[in-house]
Amino acid sequence: MTEKRNSVVGHRSSVKELKMLSRREFIRRSILYSLALASGNALASCAPPAPTATPLPPTSAPTIAPTATALAPTAAPTATRVVNVTAVPLPTMTATPAAPIAGEPYLAVARGASPAAITRAVVDALGGIKKFVKPGNDVIIKPNICNAQNTFEYASTTNPEVVAELVKLCLEAGAKRVRVMDQPFSGTATAAYAKSGIRDAVEKVGGEMEVMSSAKYVTVNFPATARDLKSWKIYQDILKADVVINVPIAKHHGGAKLTLAMKGLMGVITNPGGIHTALDQRIADLNTVIKPTLNIIDSVRALMNHGPTGGNLRDVKMMNTLIASHDPVATDAYAAQILFDKKPQDIAYIKFGAEMGLGRHDFGNVRIKEVTV
C-alpha cells in the first residue's frame, strides 16, 4: 500500500517535474539561443574590417598628367561603382557637394578678426546658406575635435565660434536638426567635446553634440575610382544626413604634411590608424565615397608644427582666415598655398585627389571670391 502510494506520488511528481522542466528548459534555451546570437554578433562586430588588397603605396610619382576632365569637378561617381561581393552592399551618401551655379565663385576666402563674422561671410560669398541647407534638412557638422587635452587656443581643434555660427546659419535656413560630431583619437568624446569649448558653443545656439556610437558604423564598398581602399567602415549617419559640412582646422601633420579637409574625413571611419600604411592614397580614396556638401577650412588659428596633437602656443599662428568650397581638393590646395606656403602637388593626397578627378588643385580659370570683414 505504502509502496503503491509512493509510486503514485513519485509518478505525479515526475510528471510535474517533466512539465516544469520543459518550461524551464524553454526559457533556458531561449536565453541560451539569444545569448549565442548576441555573442555571435558581438564577435562579428569585433572582427576587423575586410582586409584590403594592396597596402603597398605608390613609390614613384604616378605619370597621369592632370587633364581637362580631371580638372572638372565631378558630380556623380556612383555610376561606375563596382560592388565587392564579400562586403555588404551599401547606401551611397545622401549629401552631395553643392557645386557653384550661374557665376557663383568656386572657392571663397574670408578674412577678419571675428570668427563668427567671417564664417557668415564665407558662406554668403558662396551663395548663402540657403544654397546648401534646405528647410527640413538633417544637418551634420563635422569639425576636427582631436583630443581631450587642449582648448581651442592650441589650434588642435576647430574654432568653437566658427562651428557655433555654422549651427546658427543652418538653423536659420530651416534645418530640422543640426548635429555636431567627431571621433577624437585620444580621450573620450565627451571629455574632448567639453575641453574644446565646442559643446558649450554649439548647445548654446541650439545644436546637438552627438557621441559617435560604435554600433553605427557600416561597411561601405568603394567605387572603382578608389585606387587602394576596397571597403571600410563609415559612420552611417554621415552617409544618411541631407547635408554634411566638413569644418577641419588647418594643421601640420608629420606623415601627410598637412591635415585639412580631405584628411579630416578620417574622423568618420573606424580604425583610422589602419589606413596609415598608404595614408595619402587612402585619404584620397575616402573622398570618393564621403563627399560633404561644403568644406570650410578653419584657419582662424593654424597649427604650424607638432601637429596634429599640438600643445604649444608657440606653434600656433593667428591667420583669421576661412577657406570654403564644395570641392575639398580645392580648399586643401588653396590652404596649402596661402597658409603654409606649400605647392599643392607636393601634398601627395591633394595630388592624388586631383588625378582621380575628385576636385582641382590649380586655380587658373576659376572664380575665387575673397572678402574681408
Which amino acid, 236? Answer: Q
Instruction: Please say which residue, 174 or 255, places its beta carbon nearer to other proteins.
Output: 255
Pull the grid cell for residue 22.
520543459
CB 246 within 8 A of CB 261: yes
Nearer CB in complex with other proteins: 150/321: 150
CB of 164 to other proteins, least distance (A): 19
Which lies closer to other proteins via its Cβ, residue 181 or residue 354? 181
CB of 55 to other proteins, least distance (A): 7
C-alpha grid cell, residue 283? 585619404
Tell me how far, at minimum, the Cβ of 255 lies from other proteins, in Å: 3
Tell me whether residue 90 or residue 373 sits nearer to other proteins (CB atom): 90
Cβ 223 vs Cβ 288: under 8 Å: yes
Smallest distance from other proteins to CB 323, Å: 23
- Which of 56/82 has CB closer to other proteins? 56
- Is residue 134 within 8 A of residue 172, CB to CB? The reply is no
Cβ-based neighbours of 35, under 8 Å, separated by 6 or more: none
Extract the C-alpha cell encoding 238. Answer: 554621415
Q: In the bound complex, what is the minimum distance in angstroms from residue 91's beta carbon to other proteins?
A: 10
Task: Give the Cα separation of 255 and 138 in Å (integer).
Answer: 34
> Contact at 8 Å (CB) between 294 and 132?
yes
The least distance separating other proteins from the CB of residue 338, rounded to whole angstroms, comes to 24
Q: Measured from the CB of residue 98, what is the shortest distance to other proteins in angstroms? A: 28
Q: How, if at all, do strands 107-111 and 243-247 pair?
A: unpaired
Ramachandran angles phi, psi of 27, nearest 5°: -60, -45
| Closer residue to other proteins (CB): 99 or 211 | 211
Nearest-approach distance from CB 149 to other proteins, in angstroms: 4
Shortest gap between Cβ of 28 and other proteins (angstroms)? 15
| Residues binding other proteins (CB under 8 A) | 38-39, 41-42, 44-46, 55-57, 59-60, 147-149, 185-192, 195, 210-211, 213-216, 218, 236, 253-255, 273-274, 276-280, 306, 308-312
Question: Given the complex with other proteins, which of 212 and 356 has the nearer CB atom?
Answer: 212
Q: Which residue's CB is nearer to other proteins, number 38 or number 64?
A: 38
Measured from the CB atom, the residue of 39 and 67 that comes closer to other proteins is 39
